[in-house]
Amino acid sequence: MRQVAYVDLTNRKVTIKPIPEDLLRKFLGGRGIGSYLLYNHTTKGIHPLSPENPLIFSPGLMTGQFANAMGRCHVNGKSPDTGKYGDSNIGGAFGAELMYAGLQALVITGKAAKPTYLFIDNDKIQLRDASKLWGKDTFQTQLGVWDELQDPDVKVACIGEAGEHQVGFACILHQLKRSAGRTGQGALMGSKNLKAVAVRGSQSLPVKDPQKLLEITRRQYEYIRRTKIFEITKRWSNLFAWVVNNEREGIVVRNHRANFYPEGYGHLDVDIFLDKYSEKMLACQQCAMHCEHRYEVKEGPYKGLKGEGPEWIAPLHFGALVGNIHWDVILASFEKTNRFGIDASTFGLYLAWLMDIYDRGLIGKEQTGGIDFNFGSAEAMVKLPELINKDEGIGKVISHGADEAIRQLGDKTGEFLYRCGRGLTQEAVNDRILRATCLGDQTSNRGNDHLRGRCNLEFMGLPAEVLSKIIGRPTNPDPYAWDTKAFFAMWQQNLNTMSDCLGLCKFWTQWFAPDLFGFEQPLEVINAVTGWNMTKDELWEASERVWNMEKMFNVRDGEDRRHDTPPKIFFEPIKEGARKGLCLEPDKWNALLDEYYDLRGWDRNGIPKPETLKRLKLDKEPSHII
């Protein structure tokens, strides 16, 4: 039977309990069981950095199984960044190792009296002294744990100094770049004096029908490896998304000064990265797509720098967004954020904001400590991670909440820090021009989120009958049309929720490309492993349930329709380029939101109706079953 371990750091107490199978069938694993545990182990209004806020690791239901791309782990905790529902998903091999140690979930509460790390050695869980690791970066920490345990096969998830200082956008890092990035779970970990979680697992995972699982896995692999997207991703990673989004004028340049970045031509082209920096490709556990670059900088001021990544977010958030055109500066800054345990994505957004208000004369060198913060400044890009890491100077100013940063730098500066209704910094995508995508992103429970609600199929120019077949309803493929987009957004959110619950990488699903996995293919895997004979409708409903569980967390704290509002700038027309004049029109946006709420079974204020909660069997929550 699958288990959950509770670790109370204050009282140094460990309890392990079985998870009833019917609960797993309702919530699946990963993000599902994580959101259940978060809701059940918190109360209304709990402070994100209080010892009572749990930090929850939960591998997907299928993580670690002999199945394609089932290797991911979820992290849940009320967000220190936004004060709302928080979570993040992490690749690599950490989740599978937790499963091999017998744990479907790990719930950490309390606060250790001194720096501590957890060592999970199959069914033994030890709290160990981390005094020697405190103050170390994430790479040194992983090496330190291996050294102490004399085992480099132990899988470690840890924080850097940023997490120790409870920087609002500190991440939890595993390997060289696999991270639980957004929503500040690293700060939550740091607030518990918890430096790392190390896992060694050697148990096998039960499978109901191993022969069938083998057959499914082989068949699905043979299919996927012949797709075009597989060939592209295994060579380029998702850097193609950088090209696609730039060329369709769908990115944010220099903090919303433009939406297309030709200045990067001849500098930030993908082939330049591949030729000059990429050394080889790496993969997460259970994945044949191996989308991650190992890179090395061979000349110039950053010569000798090695790291992993970058994904499309690097040329976007460290390039166009901040007006930089140099790959080596991107890599130098990106590597520091990983090393220090700072969420790279949020970092880029704050950096762009500082450059913008510097450019407008709202701050100067007195505030930046003499550092040049003009757009494109390499000095700012490589020094800011260090200041955040040390919690000093301008780094400290931006590290403890957006409101606090605005308070210190002046109200006027707040006009240029773009945040969604849930208070999360707005990703550098120009969502105002895509209807389903904007709706899907902006209604995401952790805040605007391409990994929850972005509808990539919306701007691929697919024939209507093809798109409709995928979504399961007539769907208008015109990205600028408003009709049919509410269901499209909900479908995407449910598909992505399912992926996060199972431990499936979204790069293998129809989030990424039209000919990849929908609901049916993971369902085959679930049934071979569990023997549940689950139907597609049941899997869809489980995803819906999880979405509503997260929503209930936010609603309990007073969330409503206002929190589904995009940043103000999305309602302003685009000033130039091929999409000139496009924006969100408030009446159309509100009608779309109404339609979405109706589909979700929520009232016009965005609150789940009692009958919806009953239908999804959420009406008894918190049920405190585990």
Partner 1 sequence: MTENEPQKYARSKEIYQRIRCMRCTHRIDLEKDQKEAYCPACGLGWVITWVTPDIPMVLRRIMPNIPK
Residues making contact with ligand SF4 (CB under 6 A):
69, 71, 91, 283-284, 287, 289-292, 505, 507
The DSSP 8-state label assigned to residue 380 in this structure reads H
**Contact (CB, 8 A) for 69 and 162:** no
User: 3-state DSSP call for residue 279?
Assistant: strand
- In the complex with ligand SF4, the residue whose CB is nearer, 73 or 618, is 73
User: 3-state DSSP call for residue 273?
Assistant: helix
**Where is 307: in which H helix or E strand?**
strand 306-308
Report if residue 499 touches partner 1, rule: CB under 8 A: no
Report if residue 214 touches partner 1, rule: CB under 8 A: no
Report if residue 578 touches partner 1, rule: CB under 8 A: yes
Residue 549's nearest CA partner among 617, 452, 625 is 617
- In the complex with partner 1, the residue whose CB is nearer, 386 or 515, is 515
User: 3-state DSSP call for residue 5?
Assistant: strand
Q: Which residue from 46, 127, 205, 243 is in contact with partner 1, where contact means CB under 8 A? A: 243
- In the complex with ligand SF4, the residue whose CB is nearer, 285 or 389, is 285
Burial of 54 (0-12, 13-18, 19+ CB in 10 A): buried
- 313 touches, from partner 1, ligand SF4, none (C-beta below 5 to 8 Å by class): none
The β-bridge relationship of strands 116-121 and 194-200 is parallel
- 236 touches, from partner 1, ligand SF4, none (C-beta below 5 to 8 Å by class): partner 1
Within a 13 Å sphere around the CA of 250, how many CA atoms are in the beta-carbon half?
A: 21
Q: Which residue from 515, 538, 594, 603 is in contact with partner 1, where contact means CB under 8 A? A: 515
Q: Pick out residues in 223-242 that bind partner 1 (CB under 8 A).
A: 223-224, 226-228, 231-232, 235-236, 240
Closest CB 500 distance from ligand SF4, rounded Å: 12
- 504 touches, from ligand SF4, partner 1, none (C-beta below 5 to 8 Å by class): none
Residue 521's nearest CA partner among 217, 288, 193, 158 is 217
Within a 13 Å sphere around the CA of 365, how many CA atoms are in the beta-carbon half?
A: 4
- In the complex with ligand SF4, the residue whose CB is nearer, 71 or 190, is 71
Closest CB 291 distance from ligand SF4, rounded Å: 3
Residue 211's CB is within 10 A of a number of other CB atoms, namely 9
- 14 touches, from partner 1, ligand SF4, none (C-beta below 5 to 8 Å by class): none
**Contact (CB, 8 A) for 392 and 456:** no
- 378 touches, from ligand SF4, partner 1, none (C-beta below 5 to 8 Å by class): none
Q: Read off the tokens for 233.
A: 């991703």
User: 3-state DSSP call for residue 441?
Assistant: helix
Closest CB 543 distance from partner 1, rounded Å: 20
- In the complex with partner 1, the residue whose CB is nearer, 321 or 417, is 321
Instruction: Please tell me the distance from the alpha carbon of residue 386 to that of residue 603, in angstroms, as a whole number.
Output: 46
Helices assigned H by DSSP within 44-200: 94-100, 138-149, 161-164, 185-191
Q: Pick out residues in 128-157 that bind partner 1 (CB under 8 A).
A: none
Report if residue 16 touches partner 1, rule: CB under 8 A: no
- In the complex with partner 1, the residue whose CB is nearer, 231 or 403, is 231
Report if residue 46 touches partner 1, rule: CB under 8 A: no
- 129 touches, from ligand SF4, partner 1, none (C-beta below 5 to 8 Å by class): none
Closest CB 282 distance from ligand SF4, rounded Å: 7
Residues in Cβ contact with 80 at an 8 Å cutoff, skipping those fewer than 6 apart? 48, 49, 86, 166, 168, 183, 184, 185, 187, 188, 191
Q: Footprint of partner 1 on this chain (CB under 8 A)?
A: 219-220, 223-224, 226-228, 231-232, 235-236, 240, 243-244, 246-249, 262-263, 265-266, 269-271, 459-463, 465-467, 469-470, 513-515, 521, 578
